[in-house]
Structures are given as structure tokens and as C-alpha cells.
Amino acid sequence: MSNRVVCFGEIMLRLSTPEYRRFVQADSFDATYGGGEANVAASLANFGLEACYVTKLPDNPIGDAALNHLRRYGVKTEYIIRGGERLGIYFLESGASQRPSKVIYDRAYSSISSIKPGEIDWEKVFEGAKWFHFTGITPALSDSAAEATLEAVKTAKQAGLTVSCDLNYRKKLWSTDKANRVMSELVKYVDICIGNEEDAEKVFGIRAEDSDIVSGELSKEGYKDVARKLVERFGLKMAAITLRESHSASDNGWSVMLYDGAGYYFSRKYDVHIVDRVGGGDAFAGGLIYALLNGYDSQNSVEFAAAASCLKHTIPGDFNHVTVAEVTSLMKGDGSGRVQR
């Protein structure tokens, strides 16, 4: 069986203001494409794995452009279906210093929100695959998308795949009550759960004690407890948590933790001056999946994933355009940023 990974979710048109301008100042937008699971697929394809992305796109030139964007970076797209009304859009105003970034969604009635169980032949999609990845964004889009996600995870488990989920709670998409109800059912089929400092609390009511995400004060002991409770509640093999110390919109402390049921593993902490933080968590997920599929132990897996995500913060756009060699170099301590000639 090859190291083939299947990712399922929504890819959107991203329109961002240039040069840190506010929306009210912008006379133009920089256009690209991205979305949680698409970002993971792009990372994995870039690392040399066979990454297959599944979604529903409108049958129009904008849908074609999103499809071609994925193909450009080596993502397999043969199981993408066409139909529905439109491609979702998100607008990004990049913050700086003490001014936070802002995201505005324009994704109502997007094609993926109309997807229903039975539209994807999951048994065929999972033939020869080893891993399935989704996020909490997809089931938040609509009730039918949640049902299609449940169909996918059940089929993936029956086919013997490892299943990972990034909780990715989005308050603009659904309530904490609905997220808890839907995700509690989906995570029953998950092996590896990924979240940030807020997700476990917002979705499952599991809070890290002695941490304050606004002040940037994070407690390692508190997050050990969160990871342990997630593993015990859902019978997970692993829980991974990204630990972001948000000093400002421009400067963050970045590290990650992994709990594998036997031990807790913390990466080194990176002090990151941010170019673009969107997709940072997805870059972590992609790095973790790559490392685990390639037989890295828990400590080296968390170090590789943290380094991959650190580098993503320096790259404009949603996708993480770095190589395994670049990640490995940073993982081993070369973070000088010196010009390579």
C-alpha cells in the first residue's frame, strides 16, 4: 500500500488586501486559492506523497481555476465532482503589530455545501489509500455536508485507513452546541485529533487551565490535561495541539505538543515574525501526517511538523511551499535565515 493520503473539504477563492492595507483602503485584491484540507493536500504533494483532494466545485471557469491551482502543485484531483452554484470566497485583511487580521466569508450556497451522501464513491476513492484527513470546517458548512463527512469517515475506517481530524472551530459557521453534537459523532472514527488552544474548549468544553490566549500565556501542564482528556473520551491514538503565543499580529511564539497515550512530546519553540499566518495550522497537520507516514517517532514527528508550520508563516498565500530538506534543516536547528548561495 502506498503512502496515499485523501483530503476532503472546501477550497475557496482567497482575496487579500495588498501591502497590509485595510479593506476600506483597497483598490485591488491579490487572488489565490486555499482552504483547510486543500492546504494539507498541497503540503503533502509538495513533500512527495500522493495527495488526493476531494471536493465539489462549480462547473464554470472559476471552478476550473481552483482545480488547476491544485493540479499546479501536484495534488490529485480525479475524484473532484462538479455542480452546485458557486465557489466560496473569503476576504483577508492582513493585520500588523497590534492590529489583528480579519477574515470575511462569502461562502453561502457554495457548491460543497450542497454535497450529499452518495455523491462521492468513497470506496473507490479509498482504494490503495493509507490516510484520510478532514477538518471541522467541512461539516459546519451544511447538514448535508456533515452527513457526507460522516459517510466518508465510516467508509475510511472500514477500509482500514488512519483518520485524522483538525477540529478547526469556526464561530462564524456554527454554534458551539452544534459543533459539539456533530463533531462528537465524527471523532468516534478518528485516530489522530489536531486542535489549537481554543478548539477543544469551544467544541468539547475541554479547557486548558492556567492559559489565557488573549495575553498569550499558555500552560504546558494545562494542555497535557486537554490532550489526555481528548484521547480518553474518544479512544484516540494521538492528540496534537498547536501552542500559539500571540504577542501581536506580527510576532508569535509557536510550538506544538503531541500526546500518544504513553508520553507527551513538545517541540522546540519558534519566535516567528509573520508574513502570513493563514494556513499555519494546516501546515502543521501536513507535516505531522508526512512524518508519521514515514515512520518518524513521536518526538521527531512533532519537531518536523512544528518546523514545517514555522516556515509556512513566512510564505504568502494558504499553501506551504517548502521542501522536506528545508523543513529538516530548520528542525535540526538552522534557523539563521542566511542567504543560501
DSSP state of 24: G
CB atoms within 10 A of CB 217: 10
* Residue in 191, 199, 260, 282 annotated catalytic: 282
- Residue (of 124, 106, 185, 180) closest to 149 by Cα position: 185
CB atoms within 10 A of CB 237: 16
β-sheet bridge partners, residue 195: 241
C-alpha cell at 54: 476531494
3-state secondary structure of 203: helix
H helix intervals, the chain: 36-46, 61-72, 122-125, 137-140, 143-158, 176-186, 199-204, 220-234, 280-293, 298-312, 324-331
Q: Which long-range contacts (CB under 8 A, 24 or more apart) does 215-221 make?
A: 216/245, 216/246, 216/247, 216/253, 217/245, 218/243, 218/245, 220/257, 220/266
**Scanning the structure block, which residue is given the C-alpha cell 505531522?**
288
DSSP letters for 92-158 = EE--BTTBPPEEEEE-TTBGGGG--TTSS-HHHHTTT--EEEEETHHHHS-HHHHHHHHHHHHHHHH
| Residue 282 bears catalytic tag | yes
The answer to whether residues 151 and 25 touch, using CB atoms and an 8 Å cutoff, is no
Q: Could you tell me which residues come within 8 angstroms of residue 263 by beta carbon, excluding any fewer than 6 positions away?
A: 298
Q: What is the C-alpha radius of gyration for the chain, rounded to an integer number of angstroms?
A: 19
Catalytic residues: 282
